[in-house]
Amino acid sequence: MSKEFGNPSSDIEGYVKELFWTEDELLRNVLRECREAGLPDIQVSELDARHLEVLARLVRARKAVEIGTLGGYSGIFLLRGMESEGHLYTFEFSPLHAQVAHRNFKMAKFDRQVTQYVGAALENLPTIEPEGPFDLVFIDADKGNYPMYLEWAERNLRVGGVVIGDNTFAFGKISEVGKVNELAPSVKALHQFNSHLAKSPHFCTTIFPTGEGLTVGVKLSHP
């Protein structure tokens, strides 16, 4: 008997949220700060945020990289997973988003554990390479550059470290690969990201069947 990939039941989702999710006052304030500053409502979901915290704890992350800060919501969960010993290097293209994230990290009392970079991530990532290797790399930024972000992560993760990519179902379009002649560049890039991890002998990889798709790869060896 084959089993479903994920569970689309809203009742199940409600059960999981009720059991595993508690939104504390800090998180409510962080989300309010993002809304009031006019940031888009595209941060990771509550349960995906918990996935990030759990994964950070699983690999005992102490040095994490986040590509796509937005308002700092996902970064706070990564920092919670690393506790007081951890440090987050986070990259954001938008100066406004970075300013809001800075306020939120300070509100969460994590500001001393965060180094923020503003501008194109691919230009700034080499700056932190001397701090590596890293334990965790979370990618949630411009989809077209996912393959290049993965290339960087592949070089700079430690063996046993984890790379995480959000939105890897391409907003429901990923199944069109191989069926549709003209695919959006972002869909092609996300497929390339998934395919590279799936086929690489240097990673053990899966996709968590979240609403948006969360690809998770553990580094087994150096390329």
Alpha carbons 68 and 91: distance in angstroms, whole number = 6
Q: Which of 64, 59, 84, 60 is nearest to 74 (CA)?
A: 64
173 compared with 139, residue with greater pLDDT: 139
Alpha carbons 32 and 43: distance in angstroms, whole number = 12
- For domain 10-219, give the CATH number: 3.40.50.150
On the 0-12 / 13-18 / 19+ scale of CB atoms within 10 A, 1 is exposed
Retrieve residue 183's tokens: 């695919």
Q: Output the pLDDT for position 23.
A: 78
- pLDDT digit string, tens, across residues 4-61: 667 777 788 888 888 887 878 999 999 999 999 999 999 998 889 999 999 999 999 9
Q: Among 27-36, 97-106, 180-189, which stretch is predicted with the lowest mean pLDDT?
A: 180-189
Q: What global pTM score does this model have?
A: 0.94
What residue ranges do the domains of the chain occupy?
Answer: 10-219
